[in-house]
Amino acid sequence: MLATATTSTHCPYCALQCGMNLRPAEGGGVDVVERTDFPVNRGALCGKGRTAPAVLSSRVRLTGPLIRRHAAGGLEPATWEEALRAVADGLRRTRAAHGPDGVGVFGGGGLTNEKAYTLGKFARLVLGTSQIDYNGRFCMSSAAAAHTRAFGLDRGLPFPLEDLPRTGCVILVGSNLAETMPPALRYLTELRENGGRLVVVDPRRTRTAEQADLHLAPRPGTDLALALGLLHLVVAEGRVDEEFVESRTTGWAGARAAAMSHWPALVERITGVPVPQLREAVAMFCDAPSGMVLTARGPEQQSKGTDTVGAWINLCLATGRAGRPLSGYGCLTGQGNGQGGREHGQKADQLPGYRKLDDPAARAHVAGVWGVDPDTLPGPGRSAYELLDALGRDVRALLLMGSNPVVSAPRAAHVEERLRSLDFLAVADVVLSETAALADVVLPVTQWAEETGTTTSLEGRVLLRRRAISPPEGVRSDLEVLHGLAELLGWEKGFPTDPEEVFDELRRASAGGIADYAGISYRRIIEEDGVFWPCPDPGHPGTPRLFLDRFATPDGRARFVPVTHRASAEETDEEYPVVLTTGRVVSQYQSGAQTRRVEELNAAAPGPFVELHPRLAERVGVAEGDPVAVVSRRGRAVAPARITTAIRPDTVFMPFHWPGEGRANTLTNPALDPTSKMPEFKVCAVRLEAAGG
């Protein structure tokens, strides 16, 4: 059934959460129309946003539950009663045989705040398991850890995007906004129109790098050395903001000493970035009246990602580019609700409100909201890859919602094998993803336009997606799924299906926490185009700009953390002499589970490819379009060659949206950052082979 009027809502994809309007379409469904009043995108949308309604079609999505009734058989249609009972029985059986931690839960950064909150509550109360994490661990966890370590609080951007064009200089590290968040590119265009400067750090000359005043192209895995080299020059050239460092930070002596051991000639040898370019970048950043450093997956998806981001934060602190208007460090969060998803309980070590699970006061507060004894809450569990790696061994059953690790996880062939080894797998998803196809039970759930719920954008702005259309008859919301399972497992109360009721409980659970939503309501979000957290009470204006008066540390000072460059977990050698890095293309999104079902997007980006430099192509013996095999210590992927001078000769690039022979994550290294537990997606050693006709 269609709504009869236009509905204002937000795009289901990236963390920009662009505003859009939905109106009834002739012949059924909805059309996307401009929503010019939302300040983030002012009506602009990328191709993914414009075509988002295509995935609502019953032709491409799940419309009824599926069950694998025989181990060797396929998935067959089932009733909801049969499917929910099968999931409850599978989880109960596994828990009885292997204990609560024999059951795992894996969530997603695309789930609304209400779903993420309820999923974490379900795992810890109904299942009693500590084994819960989510795919957002693969997104911005290194930046989150570094942000918390330095500032005492993690929010993707501590300022609204509207500040970006008004700063003096932006250093953009490992982000290709032109492809990953196209509507945000205008902020960089406006920056330069206003006289600001743009420095882009990327091993590829991307569409974003082409907009830069200066493009630095370091070897993948050397961003940490690059940041330290820039800080060295800041010190050597007398550009440290001594007053800011003295009055608003601690730990400078150690960070300074670490930077001084990374002199420019050494950094050039490590990174391949010439010393004159290092000096030019420092001059651009320090000569400007204000400045920002923005990082994304490039520096973060490394086994030293937390320290790498920390080095860029140290650069901001030493130059006084933090805690001041139009200045600061920010992380360009990727997934639609990557920020909110990690704030409210589906992360292995966190409770709602960004509370730590091992903090007795946090446990007591949340347990009070939930009406349980704090001692009954399990402790922290495994991080995302560690959880996936434990499947079929310590963890024997898995409930998975809104994720497709068969395509998106590192060392993906191994993860697929672990999923296949489970005693029981249940998947709730919109489409029959590659992971859902392995399940014993598949539960079809509602999508963005068929449900109401909040998300938290990369700015820390809490937004409301509103229902515009009824789902197909055989589809239920994730909240209804969790409610039904909780009832079957003995919890008749505590799992409401109304999202606003869930959000009101989330507000109470988050009250007093770092991510305090207590003063935010659905009505207020609508009236104010979103509310920035923290917002501790209804009279509070929200906090668009953090740290202007003090940082969120006990003493109010930001912390320098000394870091030093170290090698990637896997360096090149004679057998594997080339570096592979991965990323996205503009017409596909994440694992592609949804966008690969949209004809217009597939026409623009039909399949995987291997981007390589002409000199490397000549050595391998491949021409444009020839199949080329990329081989790592974990597997082999084959895709057509795309030859370009826009990439370093020692590096190849593959997008990671596709399964099958061209699956980039077959190759990637699951080596984990010791702090964030982020896998090293962005750096691994490979060799190339001509794959023949």
Domain ranges of the chain: 66-138+336-532, 141-332, 578-690
Mean pLDDT value across residues 515-534: 97
Under CATH, to which class is 141-332 assigned?
alpha beta
Helix axes 264-271, 223-236, angle to 10 degrees: 160
* Tally of CB atoms within 10 A around 674: 11
- Partnered with residue 462 across adjacent β-strands are 456, 531
pLDDT value, residue 2: 44
Other CB atoms within 10 A of residue 515 CB = 25
pLDDT of 334 reads 81
Amino acid at position 114, single letter: E
Quick one: pLDDT at residue 207? 96
Task: Tell whether the model's pLDDT for residue 200 goes beyond 80.
Answer: yes
- Of 458, 524, 528, nearest to 18 (Cα)? 458
Distance CA 105, CA 659 (A): 23
For helices 113-121 and 499-510, what crossing angle results, to 10°? Answer: 70
d(CA 507, CA 485): 24
Sheet holding 30-33, edge to edge: 7-10, 19-24, 30-33
Burial 334-365 (b: 16+ CB within 10 A, else e): bbbbbbbbbbbbbbbbbbbbbbebeeeebbeb
Coil, helix or strand for 659?
coil
Query: Alpha helices, DSSP H only, in 382-448?
Result: 384-389, 405-408, 412-420
Q: Enumerate the H helices of 272-337 as residue ranges.
A: 275-287, 297-300, 305-318
pLDDT at 4: 57
Pick the CATH number of 66-138+336-532 from 3.90.1580.10, 3.40.630.10, 3.40.50.740, 3.40.50.2000: 3.40.50.740
> What gap in Å lies between CA 488 and CA 596, rounded to an integer?
35
Q: Which CATH architecture has domain 578-690?
A: Beta Barrel (2.40)
d(CA 101, CA 525): 38
Task: Return d(Cα 596, Cα 592) in angstroms, integer.
Answer: 5
Instruction: Give the mean pLDDT of 116-138.
Output: 97
**Residue 677 structure tokens:** 């537990």
Q: Which amino acid is at 339?
A: Q
pTM score, whole prediction: 0.96
pLDDT, the chain, mean: 96
- Higher pLDDT pick, 616 / 1: 616
**Closest listed residue to residue 302, CA positions, set 110, 143, 458:** 143
d(CA 679, CA 671): 5
CA distance 55 to 49: 11
Give the pLDDT confidence of 255-302 residue by residue, as tens digits: 999 999 999 999 999 999 999 999 999 999 999 999 999 999 999 999
Contact 279, 285 (CB under 8 A): no
